[in-house]
Amino acid sequence: MTKHDKAYSGYRSFDYLEQGADYEEFELAVQTERVPSYLAPLESEESARADRLLEDTLMISLHDHLGCFPEPIDRTKAYVRQGRQATAFEGLAQSHWDCVFENFMDGICQIHSARGWKWSEILHDLGIRLCDLDHQDFVFLCRGVADIERAHREGRIALVASIEGAAPIENELERIEILYGFGVRAMGITYSESNGLGSGLKEARDGGLTSFGKRVVERMNKVGMLVDCSHCGDQTTLDVIEASTQPIALTHIGARSLWDTNRMAPDDVLKACADKGGLIGIEAAPHTTLTPKHPRHNLDAYMEHFEYIKDLVGLDHVGFGPDTLYGDHVGLHGVYKSSLSIKEASQLDYERVDYVEGVENPTEASINIVRWLVGRGYSDDDIAKVVGGNALRLLKEVWQ
């Protein structure tokens, strides 16, 4: 069994049910080549080296969404309300990820309510998706580092259940343990908007980590759940880093020094995360990791953020959290503009794109990240670190 020939038998989500009778059928986006495919250019010898690395290297995405979205994208709200999102097994079978931090419908989880993020909705979304996983044997729930290593050996994918923001726990500390028991191994402190733990990135004033937030961080440390501050305000993130006895992650973010928006992190936050042993995953969702040199969002813009942060904090503290999905990501942002805090996160002018060339979905991202690094002369060892080794080091420490 090889990584390129994944152990995928052809299962499609909810094959154990009857479409139309047990659930409403939606036409879903094509999982690969929805848009013209892009392959980072390499000479023949470089391409052969990239293929070898893609085959042999353990690869971890720190942040993605593995669900498939409707076509057309404006049917998404009805699709979400049904509470039954399909997993993109076909697209994943053509990827090279061994492990993906899956964030479900977190930012648009509005199954039972208009504003979303309710405890019942998060559990519904989590339960339905994991039930679907249990009816096939290609993608499986990851509960520890050994599962990631097993997925790499067997040509499968270990899915790490992650919740982007802690609002659903409300004021119930024990809900962290409930989520852990259901398999959740990573959680964000806030998702752009403030909650009882701290301030989100959209707030004009950052009040920092609250007293309850400190208790949450402490409990996450005790149970072995990775703390994520990708959507937190700057002071809240710094407070979390100080409060945590374990290194934390910024699983999907970029450098504010390159693109001055709240969605990116300033140098002092990036350094503080790395100084305590943490990890920074580079974000690629549309219109995020832009730069003055690359105002059109594409693979080169994305990787400029990688190189800047790598030079700032050191190669051992950088990874990739592309934050991609299968479907029209730009259109999805339009449908859920208010829920996703798009306007508040970015006030700069930029050239709009229909998709991010080279990093359009998890499959394309897995291939082109490695090809780009090969083309820029990175060594095999350094590539292995940034595409998976650094994350594995962090998880061995945090997950205990």
Over 50: is that where the pLDDT of 248 sits? Answer: yes
Mean pLDDT of 154-172: 98
Structure tokens that stand for 363 in this block: 């499959």
- The model's pTM is 0.97
CB count in 10 Å sphere of residue 52? 13
| Contact (Cβ atoms closer than 8 angstroms) between residue 7 and residue 138 | yes
Tell me, what amino acid is at 311? D
Is residue 266 classed as helix, strand or coil in its secondary structure?
coil
Structure tokens that stand for 133 in this block: 């996983």
Domains and CATH numbers, the chain: 44-398 (3.20.20.140)
Dihedral class, residue 43 (left if φ above 0, else alpha if ψ from -120 to 50, else beta) = beta
Structure tokens that stand for 254 in this block: 């970029």
| Contact (Cβ atoms closer than 8 angstroms) between residue 132 and residue 141 | no
Q: What is the mean pLDDT of the chain?
A: 95
Structure tokens that stand for 300 in this block: 């080169």
Q: What are phi and psi of 240, to 5 degrees?
A: -65, -45
The whole-angstrom separation of Cα 310 and Cα 314 is 5
Over 70: is that where the pLDDT of 166 sits? Answer: yes
* Range of weakest confidence among 100-114, 127-141, 263-277, 383-397: 100-114
| Contact (Cβ atoms closer than 8 angstroms) between residue 217 and residue 240 | yes
pLDDT in tens, 62-74: 999 999 999 999 9
pLDDT in tens, 331-383: 999 998 766 555 544 556 789 999 999 999 999 999 999 999 999 999 999 99
- ∠ Cα 352 357 362 (to 5°): 115
Handedness of CA 106, 268, 376, 297 (dihedral sign): positive
Over 90: is that where the pLDDT of 247 sits? Answer: yes
Is residue 300 classed as helix, strand or coil in its secondary structure?
helix
The whole-angstrom separation of Cα 79 and Cα 111 is 9
User: Please, is 115 exposed, middle or buried when counting C-beta atoms within 10 Å of its C-beta (0-12, 13-18, 19+)?
Assistant: exposed
Mean pLDDT of 313-329: 98
The whole-angstrom separation of Cα 30 and Cα 55 is 25
Q: What is the pLDDT of residue 345?
A: 44
Is residue 118 classed as helix, strand or coil in its secondary structure?
coil
The whole-angstrom separation of Cα 298 and Cα 300 is 6
pLDDT band for position 6 (cuts 50, 70, 90): confident
Instruction: Say which residues have a Cβ less than 8 Å from residue 188's Cβ, sequence separation at least 6.
Output: 162, 163, 164, 165, 166, 228, 229, 230, 231, 232
User: Please, is 18 exposed, middle or buried when counting C-beta atoms within 10 Å of its C-beta (0-12, 13-18, 19+)?
Assistant: exposed
Q: What is the pLDDT of residue 10?
A: 96
- Element spanning 334, H or E: helix 329-335
CB count in 10 Å sphere of residue 14? 18
Mean pLDDT of 274-290: 97
